[in-house]
Amino acid sequence: MSFTPSTEQHQNHKAKIKQVYDEVAKVVVGQNYMVNRLMVGLFTNGHVLLEGVPGLAKTLTISTLAKVLHLDFQRIQFTPDLLPADLVGTMIYNQKDGKFEVKKGPIFANIILADEINRSPAKVQSALLEAMQEKQVTIGETTFKLDKPFLVLSTQNPVDQEGTYPLPEAQVDRFMMKVFVNYPTKEEELEIMRRISNMQFGYEVNPVLTKEDIFSIREGVNKVKMSESLERYIIELVTATRKPKEYKLDHEAQYIQFGASPRASINLNLASKAVAYMDGRDYVLPEDIKEVALDVMNHRILLNYEAEADNVRTADIVKVLLTKVPIAK
């Protein structure tokens, strides 16, 4: 059954989403872009990787958002000595009963903040990524389904690379989006400084969305319409990363080692629908696709050493794609 933006439910959802921003703003100054991308992930069942220097309120934003969404939240600080059992749980022996019992780990929550995921070795990273993909965890001989919604938000620090274990490209691809978190503006930083110096922190936030609201918004996002020309535009964008010379991107072709995987097409479709729905529309515009293209593709296009030498970034490649790849008619 179709719907229009004037339907009461859609307008109600749009109003509640605005309330989410307002509640988070009580605690976090700025970072609306990050909040938007986290909600896009939540409403499309996609995990988000955040990258930014320390002190940009990534952890604070996620924990505040979890309170506003009234969801169970767990923060896991990834360290080199972390074990998979510390994440998913383990079997412990109960001396009183003489039996082994399951002790569930912090992965059993709705929102997981995997802080500095690149600080832990491959075994721990793969345990998290398996839970992300399968939405279930096996402890001993028993398999447990994870609660819904289940969203993993990971952070990684691009500055200090000593003692880190970079995520393999194939595993990074499982994240729907990789979002670069930028410094606050001068005005925002002034407000942050004033709040902290006046001891104005610890604001209480009110829950806005329930789990039922989240599932209802997901249904609405699924019903957002996309024209065939825009579907083909997504395919053209992704194909251009694999065969840039066919799209007259000769200059960019010398820097691309591997193009984006089919997950890029799937997630461009989902993310653009979520952006349209949150904007109050039941149809996707080309601008919606262009708005999410960088976050969806910047960890899926693998550049070579020549790009590094010439200081060419994935963002530069994506910007050229958006200007040169035409929308199919």
The string of pLDDT tens digits covering residues 171-192 is 788 889 998 888 888 888 888 7
The string of pLDDT tens digits covering residues 75-129 is 888 888 888 888 888 878 777 777 777 788 888 888 988 888 888 878 888 788 8
pLDDT, mean of residues 317-329: 85
Band (26; pLDDT cuts 50, 70, 90) = confident
| Phi and psi, residue 267, nearest 5° | -75, -30
Band (273; pLDDT cuts 50, 70, 90) = very high
Residue type, 149: P
pLDDT, mean of residues 305-323: 88
CATH class of 225-324: mainly alpha
Residue type, 202: G
Cα–Cα distance measured from residue 157 to residue 168, given in angstroms and rounded to the nearest whole number = 16
pLDDT, mean of residues 223-240: 92
The string of pLDDT tens digits covering residues 298-311 is 888 888 898 888 88
Q: What's residue 163's pLDDT?
A: 55
pLDDT, mean of residues 148-157: 85
Sorted by where each begins, the domain ranges of the chain are 8-213, 225-324
Give me the CATH topology for the region 8-213.
Rossmann fold (3.40.50)
Is the Cβ–Cβ distance between 153 and 138 less than 8 Å? no
Give the dihedral sign, CA 266/271/277/280: negative
Q: What's residue 158's pLDDT?
A: 67
Cα–Cα distance measured from residue 215 to residue 222, given in angstroms and rounded to the nearest whole number = 11
Nearest to 207 by CA among 4, 19, 2, 29: 19
- What's the predicted TM-score (pTM) here? 0.85
Instruction: Look at residue 271 and tell me whether its pLDDT is greater than 90.
Output: yes
Cα–Cα distance measured from residue 174 to residue 320, given in angstroms and rounded to the nearest whole number = 25
Instruction: Look at residue 202 and tell me whether its pLDDT is greater than 60.
Output: no
Between the CA of residue 66 and those of 42, 75, 133, 218, 312, what are the distances in Å?
11, 11, 21, 17, 36
Average pLDDT across the chain, whole number: 84
